[in-house]
Amino acid sequence: MIGGGRCALGVQGVVDRLDDRFRLLTTSQRDMPPRQRTLTEVIGWSWDLLTEADRRVLARLAVFSDGCTPEAAGQVCRTDLDALARLVDRSLVVTDDSGASPRYRLLESVAAFCLERLDDADDVRAQHAAYYTDLAERAGPELRGADQQEWLARLDAETANLRSALAHGGGLAWPTP
């Protein structure tokens, strides 16, 4: 059990089970509601409260690595800011406002849960690859101009997504300075 101030697994037991977050955070406490006994059930309970359209957006957001901009979410997930705001309000999506543009990201456990429920994974990954291919192509000429610093920062923020697009066969080519 994790929680309640004590851990029946001990430190080594927790370490041994870290590779499976959904199995690790399981409790056998009978006095807890079923929706709170495992991490999967906690996330699933929140998932079940969403509309079908919001579930589709949340599942599609799981293809992003290390978050995305509103523009990327709009194009890849075929959504708008209202849907993203609803998911943020439900604490399923986290907003990071520390950079030049806000970024939306999923916690790893939420992303893993959502990827298992992504019905149109090939199409969404193709949209993801197309978006980041376009970004890389637009960045090329900008890396030699007055906006070089801005574009370098943008590419740096998108490194994980650019690599993911490459890994999933996006035909993406890194821009050369």
Q: Could you report the per-residue pLDDT of 21-43, keeping only the tens digit for each?
A: 445 445 455 555 565 568 888 89
Spans of the chain below 70 pLDDT: 1-37, 169-177
Q: What is the model's pLDDT at position 40?
A: 87
The count of C-alpha atoms lying within 13 angstroms of the C-alpha of 34, restricted to the half-sphere facing its C-beta, is: 2
CA distances from 28 to 21, 37, 40, 78, 133 (A): 16, 7, 14, 40, 47
Tokens 């370098």 identify what position?
Answer: 152
What pLDDT was estimated at residue 24?
45
